[in-house]
């Protein structure tokens, strides 16, 4: 029969086990720590550089800290991000004998921790996240702080550059001022949009809507004046457009909702201008409180001709203040004006001893190729992606050299013809960075040798190259003598 001879499988019920005793309630951090596997760290593989070190994984709500297991029974702990808890973390590290700490520059969350740890007397290594990203296994906060501890213990992390405290103060003010200038520019664009929607083409006859003529006309419009002849009479005589064209540009459909938007944007723009003026006063007082450089007692000469200050320039003599602090008249340098110099100084400071040479400074800015090699072969020559305001300032300064009748302008135009605009901008930005380093380090004034000197030098270089090439081919190059007048 079908199925004959088969044995029946009888399931026996499992014995009932007693319920486990309820454990004491634990915090969320302790539960996460208990569920995480214990790492098998060998502390004798490499030479220990920082024996009493710590690694901190910075977070938005909590910070995870790891120290040497020999220093505490619970070497990995979590601390909330409140100031009281961060001070407790610093005291715990100091009491356990920790004297150096490594942490990543995560957003802006690291700033408060950095200052508190420094005030406690700890040596803080602010490391680049790119240097610590090769964490084996799955990434978690506990693994991250232990990985930072291991790398820092064996001296495998480099400390990031940090300017002095007085430079950080000026950097904060200057960055905030730049944000206000950007927001004011956005208000001007929205003013132009409201006018164009009413078919008032004022922005086509005035080069700057925020100038004297533009603001005078806008204030009259907001007061209820809509007669184009009356509005056109408020323009300055120096406006290039004729009176008839200005009158035609001020004829449109005066919609009430768009006039309301225009009023709001004008008020916003005026508010931003007041805040920018307050930033200028704060920045001026801070720069005046800084120690001047030796040898800057001599008065500063007049501003060079053809080099006007930008429209958003500070309302005080920034050129004189920077000369007092650095000993360099930055208005004399082609490409680098006073505001560009202030941007770079606010990011890197006046003392550049942290950079051994100008090449180190250019490499830190991200203006040098990587030149990654393996087996004698160059694998990568690309410029690293570095987000740095000083780098952006040098690149912007390099673009202004296109119309400059100077040595640097002639060099940029030749590089632009040979390499193209993107590579030429990077090359000239590196040139300006090296020039900035030399002037700031030695305190010498910049002297432009002129476009003719560069062209003559380039011509002599080409002649020497052709003579050397002709000599290899058995030909002699003869240069004609200059004609006698």
Tens of pLDDT, residues 235-268: 999 899 999 999 999 999 999 999 999 999 999 9
> Which range among 4-13, 165-174, 412-421, 469-478 shows the weakest confidence by mean pLDDT?
4-13
Q: What SS3 class is residue 466?
A: helix
> Count of CB atoms within 10 A of residue 335's CB?
23
Q: Tokens for 26?
A: 């634990």
pLDDT (0 to 100) of residue 454 = 76
* Nearest C-alpha neighbor of 441 from the set 334, 293, 290, 297: 293
Read off the DSSP letter of residue 104: E
d(CA 335, CA 284): 24
pLDDT category of residue 3 using cuts at 50, 70 and 90: very low
* Structural domains in the chain plus CATH codes: 46-153 (3.30.420.140), 165-289 (1.10.287), 326-448 (no CATH)
pLDDT category of residue 83 using cuts at 50, 70 and 90: very high
Q: How far is CA 254 from CA 193, 248, 250, 283, 418, in A?
A: 14, 14, 10, 42, 53
> Count of CB atoms within 10 A of residue 251's CB?
13
pLDDT at residue 352 is higher than 60: yes
Does an H or E element contain 30, and which? helix 28-35
pLDDT (0 to 100) of residue 403 = 87
HSE-up (13 A, CA, CB side) for residue 37: 6
pLDDT (0 to 100) of residue 39 = 53
pLDDT tens digits for 173-206?
999 999 999 999 999 999 999 999 999 999 889 9
The bridge status of strand 372-374 relative to strand 76-80 is unpaired
- What integer is the mean pLDDT of 120-139? 80
d(CA 14, CA 225): 94
**End-to-end alpha carbon distance in the chain:** 130
- What integer is the mean pLDDT of 9-24? 49
d(CA 234, CA 247): 11
Read off the DSSP letter of residue 48: -
pLDDT at residue 230 is higher than 50: yes
**Cα dihedral value 193, 195, 201, 203, nearest 10:** -60
HSE-up (13 A, CA, CB side) for residue 386: 21
d(CA 463, CA 469): 10
* Nearest C-alpha neighbor of 309 from the set 338, 344, 279: 338
pLDDT at residue 365 is higher than 80: yes
CB contact set of 396 (below 8 Å; sequence gap of 6+): 340
d(CA 244, CA 248): 6
DSSP 107-141: TTTHHHHHHHHHHHT-EEEEE-GGGG---SSS--H
pLDDT (0 to 100) of residue 135 = 63
101 touches 54 (CB < 8 A): yes
Which carries the bigger pLDDT value, residue 38 or residue 4?
Answer: 38
> Which range among 41-50, 110-119, 171-180, 426-435 shows the weakest confidence by mean pLDDT?
41-50
Percent of the chain with pLDDT over 90: 52
pLDDT (0 to 100) of residue 482 = 66
Phi, psi (rounded to 5 degrees) for 159 = -80, 135
Strand partners, 372: 380
Report the mean per-residue pLDDT for the chain.
86
Read off the DSSP letter of residue 209: T
pLDDT category of residue 78 using cuts at 50, 70 and 90: very high
């Amino acid at each position: 029969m079908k199925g004959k001879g088969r044995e029946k499988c009888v399931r026996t019920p499992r014995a009932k086990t007693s319920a486990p005793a309820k454990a004491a309630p634990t915090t969320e951090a302790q539960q996460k720590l208990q569920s995480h596997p214990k790492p098998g760290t060998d502390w004798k593989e490499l030479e220990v550089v920082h024996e009493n070190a710590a690694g901190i994984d910075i977070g938005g709500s909590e910070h995870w800290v790891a120290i040497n297991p020999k220093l505490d029974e619970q070497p990995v702990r979590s601390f909330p991000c409140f100031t009281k808890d961060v001070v407790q973390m610093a005291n715990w590290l100091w009491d356990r004998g920790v004297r150096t700490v490594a942490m990543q520059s995560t957003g802006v969350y690291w700033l408060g921790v950095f200052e508190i740890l420094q005030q406690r007397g700890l040596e803080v290594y602010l490391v680049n996240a790119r240097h610590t990203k090769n964490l084996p296994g799955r990434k978690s906060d506990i693994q991250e702080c232990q990985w930072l501890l291991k790398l820092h213990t064996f001296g495998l992390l480099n400390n990031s550059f940090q300017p002095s405290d007085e430079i950080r103060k000026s950097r904060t003010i200057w960055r905030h001022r730049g944000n206000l200038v950007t927001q004011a520019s956005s208000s001007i664009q929205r003013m132009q949009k409201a006018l164009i929607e009413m078919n008032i083409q004022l922005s086509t006859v005035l080069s700057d809507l925020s100038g004297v003529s533009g603001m005078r006309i806008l204030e009259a419009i907001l007061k209820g004046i809509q007669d184009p002849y009356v509005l056109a009479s408020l323009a300055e005589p120096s406006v290039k457009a004729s009176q008839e064209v200005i009158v035609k540009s001020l004829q449109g459909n005066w919609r009430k909702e768009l006039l309301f938007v225009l009023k709001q944007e004008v008020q916003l723009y005026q508010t931003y201008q007041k805040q920018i003026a307050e930033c200028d006063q704060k920045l001026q007082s801070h720069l005046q409180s800084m120690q001047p450089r030796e040898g800057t007692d001599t008065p500063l000469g007049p501003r060079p001709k053809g080099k006007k200050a930008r429209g958003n320039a500070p309302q005080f003599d920034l050129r004189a203040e920077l000369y007092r602090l650095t000993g360099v008249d930055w208005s004399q340098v082609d490409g680098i004006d006073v505001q560009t110099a202030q941007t770079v100084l606010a990011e890197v400071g006046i003392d550049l001893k942290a950079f051994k040479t100008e090449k180190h400074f250019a490499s830190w800015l991200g203006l040098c190729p990587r030149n990654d090699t393996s087996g004698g072969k160059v694998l990568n020559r690309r410029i690293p992606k570095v987000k740095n305001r000083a780098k952006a300032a040098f690149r912007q300064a390099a673009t202004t050299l296109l119309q400059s009748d100077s040595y640097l302008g002639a060099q940029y135009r030749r590089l632009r013809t040979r390499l193209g605009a993107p590579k030429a901008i990077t090359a000239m930005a590196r040139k300006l960075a090296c020039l900035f380093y030399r002037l700031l380090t030695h305190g010498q004034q910049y002297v432009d040798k002129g476009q003719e000197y560069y062209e003559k030098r380039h011509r002599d270089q080409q002649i020497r190259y052709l003579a050397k090439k002709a000599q290899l081919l058995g030909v002699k190059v003869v240069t004609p003598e200059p004609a006698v007048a």
